[in-house]
A and B are shown apart, each in its own frame.
Chain A
């Protein structure tokens, strides 16, 4: 009787059509695959890299907590906001974080629907990234309220005042969109993780771990009935999450487009924002994936092909952005609207023009390097480009918010904007929150979907061979 492992040695690996880069590199059996991923959580010593980054993240998180306490104590005026620039960092951060989250949903939902098998090795941590990013994002609209303790007035509930939210406001849409998005992402992520939690349970070395993962996996047994419901639910969730993810950033862009401000009031914003969101999200995925695969020696699972594919998505969305950057001045010129033209002019040469040009460089010019295969597959170079894009996308939102607000209709109200140290500390602090959450995830939960990776193995189908 030959074991699967032996059989697998003789099965030739079939490269996927259309690419020369493999999804899984190196020989794998079910056992080694399970071992490789679960051992990160269960057996292997936590690498020093984890501790270093955790320490840095924790320091930033403490800064975040301190800043938030001070913010709540003094009031939202500790930020650099003013009249007319009544929104600045907080909303920028909100849009930025939400946008980052979008890549996770895209990878897990849209690529699942499109049957892109390669996404199996990155979808789990991308989803985790989504959840933590949405969490960070969700904090900002709360923190930037004048009276944050009354946030619940944005929700409809029976109350003694007999007053309900105003459903024409994009901010109420935001509340629903972001909370739906957070909930659905969490459900999707958890549903996908249940079978893998069972794997962790079954490989747990001590009672505590067994109990912990045993409860978390709810008693998963891998019965074919389980898989049937699980698969259906996953597909349906993917089908629901796909329009959801598009709607969320569309709604976020409504925060701007519903307003009458020149530079905000534009129909191109929804696709523009969605593309930008995916763009920045993939950059974040790469920023997370590149060190992770190195530190945890996952190069065989997260291969150059993944890097290449992510880079291609970035290139494509980056080009969409470039198009919108180009079309914006065109439409304002074409409209003949004095105010719109003034904003375009102000963005290009006004006191905040540096944000415009740096944004353009980060999001359009520098990413053109991705046309070169070397830049798409070399981890270090790709990391660099991703970093630039991530910064560029933050700056883009900052640019949109500030340049439209600080010079709008009446020149008498024109102003400038200068950030306060608290603006920066809360932003950096939120990154710390994200890093801490993400590292805890890596440490305690399976960061790669094990069961979906098994499906990728060539002998996973009855009769051998891989489904596409």
Chain B
């Protein structure tokens, strides 16, 4: 480690004795005390001058009338406005007003399902929870599942059928569709084309096939800009056929990720993270797994790795080839690059030592060659069928999507298309730049678009048909292992919308059946069981079709596969495209929760950026928030720089999914459009990027400005070996004052005493907890201006710190909710009793009593309190009101708020148990963050009962309290992080 280099970069070094032990640092500009960097630090903060000119506040002007009502409701001496009660006319069965109902369904994230239970209050879906029986969820959720409920209520959804912008009825549309399709029948429908997203839904697949049967000349194209293009090509190279690959991390002792962010992104990541963490922090932690990560940009998985090697996108292929060769994969020669020999030898030895219990995971966006090499390595290591499972593809029809889209584009250009039916997707926005999809679309006679949003593609099409949200209609979908879920509607469609199923059915059997009939019919035909009704009910109820996972395959490597590998060339700065961790390919761009969710490593919100390594940035003479022009093969786009530690040299990573111009009020104009640079022959990047500095800067809103721990003992960590030698290292490093060290007598909590334990070894920085908290607790979104003004409202945040060499640092994640201190400093200073302790030791926050002195926030050492500086809560938009949790007070202007351990859930369980005259069982109350957490890093419960899981975890010798020396006695404590580096490999340990 470059000790001498980093030492003088730490500003507080001179004062902190801890500095000698650990060196932490933060955002790059602070690494240097140079005047420019100092200046940057100042300009990094936004002037508030413009805050009353922003778009949101203009809207707010109208909101004030409504707001004053809301405010009035919180005051003591104002009469409440009269309220009406509207009872049911015919009460539905099982519905008890005041109790939520849960329905099983599945969230399609990029066409791949995650099984969930949706909480509904009087028919309103309000919150998504994981489905414990579903293999992709196991009770947890991804950020996308959590945020999907907000998509349902997105006020910018497409709301009505229109033709050239004029409102039309469903009947008008059907007539027009028939009129344009009927003349095509004579040519067998040759001039009729269907373009969809990747389709994994069997019933939709069947519908499309039926339409194709009706129009034998018609063609069906699929296009997902961030799909598994490389994986398919790699599988074809290696096996000669397409396979779906998934991994069993619960059986893997050694994991090698080749540019894969499998813990936080991509299909199955929720399950993968779960298995990975269980293998890492299970039992007495003496048998940890080991993760090597070779990656082309800093990701959550890379930060979690025991050894991380930043390599440029193209270099990873060379590394994989060398590694494969050293593993003895047949028919392979080394690349001859001789790079990182110590890594090659150490990793290959480690993998070989764990044959059949290790796994090589290629990133979805890596090159086909890397996928093929990974298959070959897994095969050579005997992992097939053990840690690596192959199945048939999830898609109804696996195609080379780029080639097929190219064909469509050429046909459109040549005028060979009369009717183009686009179901989902958003090709005008996200098709490769060289396809010029938008211009060619206009050469089609009739263009029809079915989409959830009125997006870039919709506005370019003649017919816009709103699509139902998956919570509004029937459907089916597949999970990463092929498990099928029948999706059921939870609410009637909010708008005049239709599903793709229904639309296709109106072509097949006019006027078309309901989605329910279509899906049920399909399954009746497919299943053919005589007790179908029972099977159907059970499948719908359980949220999955039993035993529907695809059977494992054992594909054989082609003998000549290695010959088809080619060596990538490289020159200049390399450009790498990545799907955004939250917005994916841009489809979630109008989801404000995801827009404002801090990006895993950079904590950026509301923008994407060009990620450069510190050294490359210095070389190019650019700094954070500098505006630059990216020039890639002659295509240009303006973007902002963000210096990312751990990024390989001479490499720029940019995320897809931003810079949309017709996504709605949240997504429009957020970030820059990376698709404008994306060619069809270099989907995931290539070399030759030119970066020209423009003389302006552009503020980027990050929620964490400082990513160095300043030598403070905030995150305790040790290697597995160190822990073995010194199991009590935690108590040596923290300074918890003895309980007697106080003038005051103790409070005793004799009943329940709620507490939380957060295992830092398990946390993988996926941020599902943050969105879950936001959904559960009615937390408002504040917008970029206010994030810049440091007023983000997340009750739970994940602090990300870096340590070590900026070129390749270690990263640490620490979720920080309210600590619920027993000696809470915040309570002491509240003048109006608005925050104080409940009898079960919760740090209550009484919103309606708060007058807003903000003293509590000042006195909170953890800074977990959030304040409604302005009217952040949306009191106007009807749709967003429907999402709100009725069990949590909606806070208005001028009120402090914070995490309460989801006290509404505690009280509900408390009441339920008392009604039943029993005690609350362990695990009966789960906080929203705990429930969403894929890795079970968060455990909550009564610490007075020593049999409870949380009490057991707190009794481990890894348990420590954050800032224990302040004697706040937090109820939330952490388990120190353990890592398992390979003693053979020195670097990045």
Contact = CB atoms under 8 A, between A and B. Distances in A.
Interface of A: 73-78, 80-87, 141, 144-151, 153-154, 159-161, 163-166, 168-172, 175, 255, 258-261, 338, 341-342, 344-345, 349, 351, 405, 408-421
B867 A169 contact: no
A345 B13 CA distance: 10
A217 B38 CA distance: 62
A415 B45 CA distance: 9
B75 A418 contact: no
14 contacts: A75-B871, A76-B894, A77-B786, A166-B836, A169-B828, A171-B855, A260-B966, A338-B18, A345-B12, A410-B863, A410-B962, A411-B26, A411-B707, A411-B710
A295 B827 CA distance: 53
Contacts of A76: 852, 869, 894
Contact of A338 (B16, B52, B893): B16
B41 interface: yes
Given A83-B866, A351-B42, A150 B75 contact: yes
Given A258-B828, A260-B825, 19 more contacts: A77-B789, A78-B870, A147-B851, A151-B851, A153-B849, A165-B833, A168-B829, A169-B829, A255-B855, A259-B829, A344-B15, A345-B12, A408-B861, A409-B712, A411-B26, A412-B816, A416-B41, A420-B48, A421-B49
Contacts of B895: 146-147
B852 A147 contact: yes
Given A166-B832, A169-B828, A414-B705, A80 B48 contact: yes
Interface in B72-92: 74-76
A351 B851 contact: no
B425 to A, nearest CB: 39
Across the A-B interface, the 9 shortest Cβ-Cβ residue pairs: A146-B852, A146-B894, A77-B869, A82-B790, A86-B854, A77-B870, A413-B863, A412-B799, A171-B831
Contact of B869 (A75, A141, A417): A75
B45 A416 contact: yes
Interface in B3-45: 11-12, 14-16, 18, 26, 38, 41-42, 44-45
Contacts, number: 213
B76 A86 contact: no
B832 A154 contact: yes
Interface in B770-815: 786, 789-791, 797, 799-801, 814
B76 A160 contact: yes
A148 B786 CA distance: 22
Contacts of B861: 260-261, 408-410
Interface string B691-708: 000000000000011111
A81 B800 CA distance: 24
Given A160-B76, A409-B862, A83 B867 contact: yes
B399 interface: no
A414 B44 CA distance: 13
Nearest to A160: B76
Given A150-B75, A160-B76, A412 B16 contact: no
Interface in B831-885: 831-833, 836, 849-855, 857-859, 861-863, 865-871
Contact of B15 (A159, A164, A345, A412): A345
A81 B710 contact: no
Interface of B: 11-12, 14-16, 18, 26, 38, 41-42, 44-49, 51-52, 64, 71, 74-76, 704-712, 714, 786, 789-791, 797, 799-801, 814, 816, 825, 827-833, 836, 849-855, 857-859, 861-863, 865-871, 893-896, 962-963, 966
Nearest to A173: B831
Contacts of B863: 83-84, 408-410, 413
Contact of A147 (B791, B801, B894): B894
A412 B814 CA distance: 10
Nearest to B869: A77
B799 A418 contact: no
A116 B791 CA distance: 53
Nearest to B872: A77
B706 A411 contact: yes
A153 B851 contact: yes
A94 to B, nearest CB: 12
B867 A86 contact: yes
A367 B500 CA distance: 80
B851 A145 contact: yes
A411 B18 CA distance: 15
Contacts of A78: 51-52, 870
Contacts of A414: 705-706
Contacts of B853: 141, 144-146, 171
A168 B830 CA distance: 8
Contacts of B46: 418
Given A87-B854, A154-B832, A75 B894 contact: yes
A165 B853 CA distance: 13
A177 to B, nearest CB: 13
Nearest to B703: A412
B828 A420 contact: no
B599 to A, nearest CB: 15
A83 B857 contact: yes
Nearest to A262: B861
B857 A169 contact: no
Contact of B858 (A261, A342, A418, A421): A261
A417 B705 CA distance: 12
Contacts of B52: 74, 78
Contacts of B862: 409-410, 413
Contacts of A85: 790
A84 B893 CA distance: 18
A342 B851 contact: no
A384 B642 CA distance: 47
A448 to B, nearest CB: 40
Contact of A146 (B42, B814, B851): B851
Given A175-B831, A260-B861, A409-B963, A74 B790 contact: no
A340 to B, nearest CB: 10
B38 A351 contact: yes
Contacts of A149: 75
B16 A341 contact: yes
A122 to B, nearest CB: 36
A261 B859 contact: yes
Contacts of B831: 153-154, 165-166, 169, 171-172, 175
B45 A418 contact: yes
A170 B16 contact: no
A148 B76 CA distance: 13
Nearest to A149: B75
Contacts of A409: 712, 861-863, 963, 966
A72 to B, nearest CB: 10
A9 B638 CA distance: 88
Contacts of A416: 41-42, 44-45, 705
Contact of B851 (A73, A83, A154): A154
Nearest to A418: B45
A85 B18 CA distance: 27
Contact of A81 (B816, B850, B854): B854
A415 B26 CA distance: 12
Contacts of A413: 862-863
Contact of B825 (A77, A146, A259, A342): A259
B859 A259 contact: yes
A63 B16 CA distance: 47
A420 B51 contact: yes
A176 B789 CA distance: 34
A193 B861 CA distance: 50
A82 B44 CA distance: 15
Contact of B829 (A171, A411, A420): A171
A221 B789 CA distance: 62
A165 B851 contact: no
Contacts of A412: 704, 706-707, 797, 799-801, 814, 816
A419 B464 CA distance: 48
A151 B895 CA distance: 13
Contacts of B708: 411
